[in-house]
Structure 1
Amino acid sequence: MAKVDRRILKTQEALKKAVIDLMSEKNFDDITIQDLSDRANVSRGTIYLHYMDKFDLLDKLIEEHINVLREMCKSAAELDFTESTLMWTQYFELHYSFFSMMLASKGAPYFRGRFLDLLIEELTNEVEVTKGKNEKLNENLLVRFIASAYVGVVEWWFTNDKPVPHPILAEQLGTLLERNV
């Protein structure tokens, strides 16, 4: 794999930070390329070297975080739900500004859908509907229910400015997942 120039990475990181910062100040639709250029301290032309437009920038930023969460799922395959949820909540904490902007504001409803889709994809293989308390339940309905509840709790956590520490969130979400999957 070719080594990426540090200047390119630095520019892309500045643009990602700029879009998140600007979204905390105004609606995404009101952010201009000039706003991004000014905030990231790069020329407008530089932005277009890396991204087609502001939507492409946001899309790539969302995709980056979704891919990290997907990889975490793969690496946590042998962990229980509490341990794997702890990995996610640590990541949420580390990237608080991004996730709070995506989940606690009206700024990017597209992210919520992508996040929900990821959870549905990951939980589909975990749900057992052939025996026990979930016997005879519709698998798709159960998976959607659990994934929607998970997204809702994470949204609540961000909307309410982390009312419980992330390890407590992970422990309790993990327990709820264990009970229902």
Structure 2
Amino acid sequence: MVDRRTAKTKRAIKNAFLDILKVKSINKITISELSEKADIGRGTFYLHYHDLYDVYESVERDLYAELVEMFDEFSPYVTSENLLALTNEVTAYIDKKRELFLLLMDVHENILNKIKEIFNEKVLQDECYSEISEYEQLEALFIVAGTFGILEEWLRSGLDMPLEQVSKILHQLLMKFNLQ
């Protein structure tokens, strides 16, 4: 268990990192600049992280963990209501963290591909997929890729529509595949 001071320090480092990342590329940020912005000493930074890329990876891991937690919480294959709830939750989460997603996508364009990989693993690990054909496995991968393709287009403002509409459309598309 992480104590509150450690959690607070790590949060300050991540927030300072993200603030600076809005105006500078990651390879232009210095540990001194980040430490000053986070109001910590350089030594304190190194107690928690090896370098700036370690901070970036920690921010990504947090994002992935929250998405996996959502997936696990809603068990999307149990009922269509669960699938709708997951779709609503993920689109709301992405909308709420739009700036963070876009910022991280500027640093590492494949962040959404990593999220797709995580969801692919979750889908194929689900017990209702344990005895399915190769075709059905590919269908599941197609569904995940399509869903994240739409979310990426919406995130990058290629689709100018409110989050409720995106969520509803995604749910309607997913229901066409009878994911129950």
Question: Is the structural similarity TM-score above 0.5?
Answer: yes
- C-alpha spacing 1:56/1:83, structure 2 compared with 1 (3 Å): same
Aligned to 2:68, what secondary structure does the other structure show? helix
2:156 matches 1:156: no
- The equivalent of 1:133 in structure 2 is none
Q: How does 1:94-133 map to 2 (within 5 A)?
A: 94-103=96-105, 105=106, 107-124=107-124, 125=126
Residue 98 of structure 1 aligns with an amino acid whose one-letter code is L
Return the alpha-carbon distance in structure 1 between the equivalents of residues 159 and 40 of structure 2. Answer: 34
Aligned residues with identical type, % of pairs: 24
2:164 matches 1:167: yes
How many aligned residue pairs are there? 172
Tell me, which stretches of 5 or more residues in structure 1 are unaligned? 131-135
C-alpha RMSD of the superposition? 2.7
Return the alpha-carbon distance in structure 2 between the equivalents of residues 3 and 53 of structure 1. Answer: 20
- The equivalent of 1:85 in structure 2 is 87
- C-alpha spacing 1:92/1:55, structure 2 compared with 1 (3 Å): same
- The equivalent of 1:43 in structure 2 is 41
1:24 is displaced (CA, Å) by: 2.2
Within the candidate set 68, 78, 97, 1:70 is matched to 68
Are the aligned partners of 1:37 and 1:47 in contact in 2 as well (CA < 8 Å)?
yes
Residue 157 of structure 1 aligns with an amino acid whose one-letter code is W
Deviates more, 1:32-41 or 1:43-52: 32-41
Return the alpha-carbon distance in structure 1 between the equivalents of residues 168 and 130 of structure 2. Answer: 21
Return the alpha-carbon distance in structure 2 between the equivalents of residues 162 and 51 of structure 1. Answer: 38
2:144 matches 1:147: yes
1:38 is displaced (CA, Å) by: 2.9
| Deviations 1:53-105, CA, capped at 9 Å, x for gaps | 111111111111111111111110144322111111222233333222234x3
- The equivalent of 2:51 in structure 1 is 53
Return the alpha-carbon distance in structure 1 between the equivalents of residues 28 and 136 of structure 2. Answer: 41
- The equivalent of 1:23 in structure 2 is 21
TM-score (norm 1): 0.79
Are the aligned partners of 1:129 and 1:139 in contact in 2 as well (CA < 8 Å)?
no
Aligned to 1:164, what secondary structure does the other structure show? coil
Tell me, which stretches of 5 or more residues in structure 2 are unaligned? none
Are the aligned partners of 1:127 and 1:143 in contact in 2 as well (CA < 8 Å)?
no
| Deviations 1:115-172, CA, capped at 9 Å, x for gaps | 0111212332466996xxxxx8723432332222222222212211873222222111
TM-score (norm 2): 0.80
- C-alpha spacing 1:27/1:151, structure 2 compared with 1 (3 Å): farther
- C-alpha spacing 1:112/1:29, structure 2 compared with 1 (3 Å): farther
Residue 56 of structure 1 aligns with an amino acid whose one-letter code is D
1:14 is displaced (CA, Å) by: 1.7
